[in-house]
A and B are shown apart, each in its own frame.
Chain A
Amino acid sequence: MNILNVMMQPEVFLVWTSLAKSIGLLAVILGLVSYTVYAERKICAWIQDRVGPNRTGIPFTGIRIQGLGQPIADALKLLLKENFIPAEVNKFYYYIAPKLSMVPAILVLAVLPFGSSLFGIPMVIADVNIGVLYVFAVSSLGVYGIVLAGWASNSKYPFLGGIRSSSQMISYELALGLSVIPVFMVCGTLSLPEIVLWQRENGWMVFPIWAKGLTWDLILSGDIGAIAQTFTAGFSLQRILLWVPMIISFVIFLIAMFAETNRAPFDLPEAEQELVGGYHTEYSGMGFALFFLGEYAAMIAGSGVIVTLFLGGWSFPLIPDGSLPGIPGVLAGLVNIGVFFAKIIALLIFFIWVRWTVPRFRYDQLMKLGWYVFFELALVNIFIAAFVLAYIK
């Protein structure tokens, strides 16, 4: 029997292609996490008028390349550190907590479409029709890792950090879940690939005013009359008014995502001045590294969800039918993957920028903002969208 025939059988084909996609995506995410940490340190340094990491380069040669070797050195260091277990901890939960906080962040990526297709294989690991529900279900599991880490450490600072963090995450999950409902009302689907296809035809969710039929060819031709025609052709009061709930949705989702991933200005679980390191105070070596990885992976996955729901996913802007003129199939697939990750990186830089600009909230302010402002605003926002869709044509 020919091995190639076995490989091409539908079931076997599905298994090995999804394995390849999973491993490839994991590798990309790990690389992205390390260099996000590097970008974070570098951007923070620029904002504070410092230099930042600039020494580590290629080993044994003395070449520094702006400290680009730093993430690799950090990873190696954490791998070679002692994996110390304090005497007081509950060993089983202490071991399992870092994995429980990292794995859900990676799992969210399973349903995100990160490209159109490559060699006819769709660039999404699992095309499930309830993609968004899966995202929320899995990302909520991250709370368990944090609570268990705080509890199993049997120490006061991690304990307080753990309960604060879980309470904050579940509070903002309400706003997160409510804010995306207008998107589904407009698209009429929960499947993430279909939401991306909808946006490719009708314009990004945050700019629903984009006219149908507006393409790069038309813009480059410079025919103002024809461009204006596409706007007036796609014009309707409903489209313009839908912009309001969409923008509110986007802003609430973005801010709630900051709180979900425990990023500044909502990084109370890790408030160094009050809680030392927060829930991972008692961890060392790879346990600490997995928490760190989980946090940044959650940030990347969250950016991926924002990009998919609101910023057009992998689609290159202003190309309604998805064809990239003059670029052959495989290269076009790669361009789409590149577009997706470029959008993610832009959002990550925004996350970092906010972290080093905005001061931290106080705990009661944080809970008040989540429960009083965002929850109510998101709820009202759903009915704004509902009324516009029902009564204005």
Chain B
Amino acid sequence: MLQDYTPVLLHVIIAVGFATVAMIANIVLGRTGKRNPTKDSVYECGMVPEMAGQPRFSVKFYLVAMLFILFDIEIVFMYPWAVVYQDFIAESGTIILWSMLSFVLILLFGYVYAIKKGALDWSR
């Protein structure tokens, strides 16, 4: 079981190794220029940068991330359900469909609530 993942581990090593070697090759081979204050400053189309580099941003991004986690867990629940679906129906009938439908309906209340609260309305 776990040895199925040995090739994945080797693949990770190869991918990370390639990225690291490429970075190091660039540091070794790349030319190094002189530094100066203008070059060191952040890029803002030639203007002198003002204020902090990480400005305040809309709280909507947090809301989207939280809603994502909620609904992503719902999706993970549906995967094993989908895999056994046809076998289950052949054995013990359509109860599997109705139970999943009720589960999704409960989550749908949360979805409607989020929409009503304007969590996904970016024009406000």
A interface residues (Cβ-Cβ under 8 A, vs B): 14-15, 18-19, 21-23, 26, 78-84, 86-88, 95, 98-99, 102-103, 106-107, 109-111, 125-129, 132-134, 151, 153-157, 159-160, 163, 166-167, 170-171, 173-174, 177-178, 181-182, 184-186, 188-190, 276, 281-282, 285-287, 289-290, 363-364, 367-368, 371-372, 375, 379, 382-383, 386-387, 389-391
Instruction: Say yes or no: A367 contacts B42, CB within 8 Å.
Output: no
Q: Could you say which of A23, A106, A375 has the most chain B C-beta atoms within 10 Å of its C-beta?
A: A106
> What is the minimal beta-carbon distance from B43 to any residue of chain A, in angstroms?
5
> With A82-B30, A106-B15, A190-B83 known to touch, is A87 a contact of B41 (CB < 8 Å)?
yes
> With A99-B23, A167-B64, A286-B23 known to touch, is A184 a contact of B82 (CB < 8 Å)?
yes
> What is the minimal beta-carbon distance from A179 to any residue of chain B, in angstroms?
10
Give 18 CB contacts A-B under 8 Å.
Answer: A18-B11, A19-B14, A22-B7, A80-B31, A81-B26, A83-B27, A87-B35, A106-B18, A110-B7, A111-B8, A126-B6, A155-B44, A166-B65, A182-B82, A186-B86, A368-B120, A372-B115, A390-B94
Instruction: Say yes or no: B15 contacts A26, CB within 8 Å.
Output: yes
Chain B binding surface, main DSSP class: helix
Once the chains are docked, how many angstroms separate the CA of A76 from the CA of B90?
Answer: 59
Instruction: Say yes or no: A184 contacts B42, CB within 8 Å.
Output: no
Instruction: Say yes or no: A82 contacts B31, CB within 8 Å.
Output: yes
Chain A binding surface, main DSSP class: helix
Interface size in chain B (residues, C-beta < 8 A): 65
> With A84-B33, A86-B42 known to touch, is A26 a contact of B68 (CB < 8 Å)?
no
Once the chains are docked, how many angstroms separate the CA of A357 from the CA of B47?
Answer: 33
Once the chains are docked, how many angstroms separate the CA of A170 from the CA of B43?
Answer: 28
Closest to B69 in A: A170
